[in-house]
Structure 1
Amino acid sequence: MLPVREVMQKSWRTVLIGVFALATATGGYYVTTTFLLTYGTGEHQLSEEMLLNGMSLAAFLELLVTPVLSFYADKVGAHRMVIAG
């Protein structure tokens, strides 16, 4: 049997949850960045270039930090990484 067919037959609920979780996370990112650009340039008269540069820098830093924190979470345990409020 084809692996994709097997997964869809046996674990379709898990696949569906994953698809919707990814759509929610990705959609939230785009809604937030679009709102930031609209709000920043409209209400606060900030330059679009500055906002785009800031978001690009944040995305680059996320690219660098994510693998480090993922490695750390694997070694220490993700439950210990939560910052107590």
Structure 2
Amino acid sequence: MLLKAGLFLLCLLWALLCLRFYTLISRDNVWQRRFIALGAGLGAGLIYILGSMILTLLRTPSPAEMEREVQQVEDVRVQGR
């Protein structure tokens, strides 16, 4: 949960950085300001999506750890009828 909050904070910092550039651009440069706003939204979305994918990969156990868990389990015998 704390990592998701950190990821959200990173997206917010990206949007604030883009907002800073947005305010520095003159009002006469309408297209420049639109591109910065579009980059802020798409960039924050991509940071969140890629970050959540990386967090999922980091939380999954490695195949070696999964093998150890399987080896510790006792054999299960099934009786036929």
Coarse TM-score class (shorter-chain normalised):
0.3 to 0.5
TM-score norm. by structure 1 comes to 0.42
Tell me which of the two structures has the higher relative contact order, counting C-alpha pairs closer than 8 angstroms and 6 or more residues apart.
Answer: 2
